[in-house]
Structure 1
């Protein structure tokens, strides 16, 4: 057992441990080399809790939690894996390996900083790094001490935050600028702390970010995006500052703020250990609300029964199912993405298996540049098969909740793959020539 009273007991595993972990699991030298090749491009980090408590090593490489955190050699093009593996086999200089890895990274899907660069807030006419104001009522803040996680998900759309390139970092430690910006923008009522994982921070650091917001009357809710309940539930049970962290949560609630944990659970296995139920109980006892979300991930949770089981278990523990997301258009999207048509079928079939208390969940939803686009279904209208969609959230608030249509495409996996139906453009698109839309 890795949890010990008064001792955090946290042990991280990184790429330098990868060969040893896979060797103990029985992988041969060539398989370990190919995994190491992928890990030169995509970041690898896990911990003893995930390795010892969540992964069924008798079922690897098909075990879903193993696939969730360990690199697979088919995540990248075979030629790239072969080249990188050859460099590692030949003990090439680190600079040469890094240069080859960077070439592969540049060919991956768009880096999420493209979205983060939109609507960057300014204080005294100067852009504030690590902050995003995408929707009128909500500001996202990326605390610089929270730009890692207890373990990395292999599908993570923020993978570029973790590869050690300072130019790709999007984070800030300037709480004063955040407060000044909020004071200048009374329309903002909600602040979302995200990363990385803000709960990687200790209580004293987390307090520096949360406490100043408690004096702002306009702030109604504070949200924390985190996977700590799945990857390190001891953060709220046995860590030395677990009790102090929970007292901080109580202070937030006592100040009249809605404290929302946006908890990331990707598979029912993550909910099985008893320590998870205890962590959830302790967080909820502070008055915080726990809402759950995860993307639909091929080879990990692309099964309706898996989602239904996950939502029911979450509801039993007192959490609120919130979102099923579509895998983002970054990183190894081709490996993990599920077509939108199939994603809708999975959501519908899972939704049909649960009671009304679980039907708070929404999806499948794409967190795209215009906003959160939800696939409501597939229909035939005027002889044309179409996707029915709406914006759950939008940069332009007047578009929220209004249905629109896209031509049915069974291969489409993201908003950019879709074309408008019954119109020259989508509601959020600027007016452009029809010829361009149909190109």
Structure 2
């Protein structure tokens, strides 16, 4: 075990080169480990000592939810693709041949859902601004070049394409001047979200380079930081060498009159149990920041109402604000992890009904789709027809926000593009798109 001067454990990452050794702890045989390694040539794998030693119940692996949260599964990809890659690994084929096959499989997995590489790209004049996304009028997403990894990768992650080493699949920038220039040119922007990867993988001096210039922009009301560090490496805010200076930076943001919202990803109640997490949460809240929690609904990991109500209650007791239950996005191994929308609504409804009003700040189940964040409000019968009730929580076209619409009921539907309009020829966002093209 690696210790720092304070006697606490330092960060240690595990990557694909450690995968076979770790899989033996899960009791997997040779053939099964080979298949998992095959999947890991397509989808990224990274974890760390805290997750491996503190969060995973190895006696329950490979069925333990925390194990399934970070370790690839042999059946996450089509069987023929896995078999082909496994054969290449077994034959010790040249790396270039393995990567060529892995790239072929990746191309079939919709690596950039919701138009991330085209529809959301902002411009100054005719020039694109790399590393920014501007999907909604008031909000700009910032992808720091130095934040394009995480303390550990989630197997369901919709940004998996950022982590596979293909420059054509990445969007990131370290041109902070250009970032500030773009925001100043758009006075409608009142909020920025610093994301990645994981923004908190960056050290305090680097985060400061991105945040300090934003404090001088009077138009900005809030700065959000997207991270799973509280779940995967809470030491980032307690014993890491720059933990104190990071929290001082948070206080500086609040003192500048900006709302600092810490967007924390918690996928399972076990991630909240460590005293380290309680300490980290307390220190962040003491800086003046707020913590809002969110996660997707993931089959075999948290597809149970009791899991969600437990998470929301504990988060509330710790001073955090339950914010979103997301639907697994239409990318990567969606077929493996997706929960049908009808079932997702039932899980959300049952969990929501079992918590107090103070936990009912949470919204969902929500799809972050191309038109915006589409929320499934329920299943009902209208004019003798069973339908989904939906509305847009957020939209590219702000005039559509909050307006209810209906889709034909489909018990197998897992995403917006599986649905068909009810009582209309088109969904409201499709009508607006057709008018814009006319």
Shift of 1:106: 1.4
Match of 2:221?
220
For residue 138 of structure 1, what is the aligned residue in structure 2? 139
In structure 2, C-alpha distance between the alignment counterparts of 1:346 and 1:189, rounded to whole Å = 34
**Secondary structure at the counterpart of residue 331 of structure 2:** coil
Conservation of the 8 A alpha-carbon contact between 1:33 and 1:85 = yes
- Decide whether the 8 Å contact of 2:183 with 2:189 is kept in 1: yes
Q: The residue matched to 1:59 in structure 2 has which SS?
A: coil
Aligned to 1:58: 59
Distance 1:185 1:158, change over 3 A: same
| Alignment deviations for residues 284-316 of structure 1 (CA, whole Å, 9 cap, x no partner) | 000000000000000000000000000000000
Match of 1:44 in 2: 45
Partner of 2:421: 420
After superposition, the CA RMSD in angstroms is: 1.4
Q: Which residue of structure 1 lines up, in the alignment, with residue 91 of structure 2? A: 90
CA deviations 1:144-177 (Å, max 9, x no partner) are 1000000000000111110000011111111101
Per-residue CA distance 1:298-352 (angstroms, 9 max, x = gap): 0000000000000000000000000000000000000000000000000000001
Checking the alignment, whether the CA contact within 8 Å between 2:111 and 2:169 is kept in structure 1 is no
Shift of 1:123: 2.0
Separation of aligned partners in 2, 1:262 and 1:16: 31
How far apart in 2 are the matches of 1:270 and 1:116? 32
Q: Report deviation, 1:431.
A: 7.0
CA contact (8 A) 2:114 2:369 kept: no
Are the structure 2 counterparts of residues 250 and 8 from structure 1 closer, same or farther at C-alpha, using a change threshold of 3 Å?
A: farther
The answer to whether the Cα contact below 8 Å between 2:222 and 2:258 also exists between their aligned partners in 1 is yes
The answer to whether the Cα contact below 8 Å between 1:155 and 1:331 also exists between their aligned partners in 2 is: yes
1:284 correspondence with 2:285:
yes
Instruction: Give 1:430 deviation, angstroms.
Output: 3.8
Q: Helix, strand or coil: the match of 1:180?
A: helix
Task: Provide the TM-score with structure 1 as the length reference.
Answer: 0.96
Displacement after TM superposition at 1:86 (Å) = 1.0
Shift of 1:103: 1.3
SS for the counterpart of 2:116 is helix
The answer for unaligned runs of 5 or more in structure 2 is none
How many aligned positions are there? 433
* Alignment deviations for residues 34-61 of structure 1 (CA, whole Å, 9 cap, x no partner): 1101000000000000000000000001
Once the two structures are superposed, the pairs formed by residues 135-174 of structure 1 within 5 Å of their partners are 135-174=136-175
Deviates more, 1:113-122 or 1:89-98: 113-122
Q: Which residue of 2 aligns with 1:298?
A: 299
TM-score by length of 2: 0.97
Secondary structure (helix, strand or coil) at the match of 1:58 reads coil
Q: Indicate the residue corresponding to 1:23 in structure 2.
A: 24
**How far did 1:24 drift?**
3.3
Q: CA deviation at 1:81?
A: 1.0
Aligned-residue offset at 1:79: 1.2
Kept in 2: contact 1:150–1:228 (CA 8 A): yes
Q: Distance in 2 between matches of 1:112 and 1:171?
A: 16
SS in 2 for 1:152: coil
Q: Which residue of structure 1 lines up, in the alignment, with residue 350 of structure 2?
A: 349
